[in-house]
Amino acid sequence: MPVPTAPAAPITTAKLSVIEQSKRLAAYTAVDQHILPKHKVIGIGSGSTVPYVVERIVQQGEELNKGRVFVPTGFQSKELIVESKLSLGDVDQFPTIDVTIDGADEVDSELNCIKGGGACHLREKVLAEAAETFVLVADYRKNVQYLGTNFPGVPIEVVPFAYAKVLQNLHHRLGSPNATLRMAKAKAGPVVSDNGNFIIDAPFSLEAMKDPFTLMARIKMLTGVVEVGLFCHMAQAAYFGNQDGSVTVKSRLEGEVIEETISPA
């Protein structure tokens, strides 16, 4: 893990809201620390912070980027790669990735996270596991002690014909009586993932969320579940942009998670 430093180039934030400034700070700092000249295969995640990741990568220059391949986690990141004129790859071509940078819905004190607010968590987890280094970027609202503090539930991708049975099991066996099928905002019916599956959002008690690995394993054992939006023991670092222009960095060092703050440049 590199020693954190301030971003290498000034970041103009005058036209951005505080939240957007925070996302951009986190993304720029993570790219400066982790997307190095030696890295040739790079995973690009999903979410509202990721456009700033791609923006900063583009700023590294055409000469550096022409020798790289970028692997997306879904439609959004694929479009960002194509629009930025970066080389597009797929995980079946590049099953080993140097670095994946992705957003997060929440990150706890042990670098576990919730993902799946954008219904991309199956492919996101594949790219996270494929990466030698997996890095999270987010704004200060996503930095929590325990998962489930602000984000309403655990996203669960399920095959369509099994969703009713999975819901029943979540309600009566796993302790999530308020688990619901995620419905689309601009169409009649449920959200459908890039893989053609449905998404269930399942809130759990704080006690259950204090042990996300056990909870993830229990959910994943349900027949019909494709993937669970709990990412446990996977990230090496997480970057959070703060309201005051600083960046909080949580990183794993010799099994321990340490937290540092990078002051504004």
Annotated catalytic sites, by residue? 124
Beta strands 69-72; 41-44: pairing state: parallel
- CA 232, CA 254: separation in Å to the nearest integer? 17
> Which one, of 180, 233, 232, 185, lies nearest residue 202 by Cα?
180
Give the whole-angstrom CA distance, residue 195 versus residue 33.
32
- How crowded is residue 214: how many other Cβ atoms within 10 Å of its Cβ? 12
CA 129, CA 142: separation in Å to the nearest integer?
Answer: 22
The CA distance from 39 to 36, in Å, is 6
Instruction: Give me the amino acid identity at 1.
Output: M
33 with 6: CB under 8 angstroms?
no
3-state SS of 21-52 is HHHHHHHHHHHHHHCCCCCCEEEECCCCCHHH
Distance CA 10, CA 88 (A): 28
